[in-house]
Amino acid sequence: MTSSGEQVAPGWVAIVGGGPGDPGLITRRGWQLLGEADVVVTDHLAPLELLDELELSFGRTPKVVDAAKFPGGRSMPQEVINSHLVDEARAGSNVVRLKGGDPFVFGRGLEEVWACAAAGIRVEVVPGVTSAISLPALAGVSVTHKDVAQAFTVVSGHVPPGHPESRVDWGALARSGATLVVLMGVRSMPAIAAALLAAQLPAETPTVTVIDGASDAVEVIRCRLDELAAEASRFRPPAVTVIGAVAGL
């Protein structure tokens, strides 16, 4: 994909979803492109263990650039990341932008695609296994069930309810009857719980939070909705919270 009329650069960029953290859960295409990369631009939640395997598997060691996109922590500004992808490809490098989860689920992958296409860079998107579904699944939680949940909604908790920049209708979510999956919600969880309770989601609604779900340090915390604000003090990123009847199965 490039913008029409642009001269195509000698290198290419691949926006690769690395999955929920377990290096075994990257797609075959994502792994193949890592083996062809001259440069890998990583995020904190990407499966970084894969980088140690590239020399043995492909006989090459790419340059690694740490963009360190981590909630509440240091990070390279998105505009700088975009420019770096373009500059490396223009210089003739094959670049993999390795992200956690899926690059188009709260990953700003589309912005990177646009930046590359506008600059005449060949760009490919490789979907990843999103943590919104996979981490609950690894903990034995299905986000749907034929008897209790025929839909689910994935929400970013980065902007809390009531914030001027919030675009989420928490009242509508509470009334929907769908499973609610919250990503990036560790800091906002008390406010999220309060908003759902205020919208009459029953206090006894079960919840489950999966912390470090694709690692050996996984922790699973279950509680009722009216206990969620207090339990949130035990949460740490990365975490996924599932709210709804499926969390009690």
pLDDT of residue 69: 64
With cut-offs at 50, 70 and 90, classify the pLDDT of residue 1: low
For 205-234, what is the mean pLDDT? 97
146 is catalytic: no
pLDDT at 9 exceeding the cut of 90:
no
Contact 212, 238 (CB under 8 A): yes
How far is Cα 40 from Cα 98, in angstroms, rounded to an integer? 7
Q: What is the mean pLDDT of residues 213-238?
A: 96
**Is 184 considered catalytic here?**
yes
State the pLDDT at residue 68.
79
Q: Which of 22, 184, 212, 226 is catalytic?
A: 184
pLDDT higher than threshold 80 for residue 8: no
| pLDDT tens, position by position, 131-159 | 999 999 999 999 999 999 999 999 999 99
Q: pLDDT tens-digit profile of 171-212?
A: 999 999 999 999 999 999 999 999 999 999 999 999 999 999
Identify whether 52 is a catalytic site residue. no
Q: Catalytic residue among 38, 63, 66, 69, which?
A: 69
pLDDT in tens, 32-61: 999 999 999 999 899 999 999 999 999 999
> How many helices and strands, by DSSP H and E, does the chain display?
8, 10
CA distance 248 to 147: 13
Residue 83 has pLDDT above 70, yes or no: yes
All domains of the chain in start order, with CATH: 12-129 (3.40.1010.10), 132-248 (3.30.950.10)
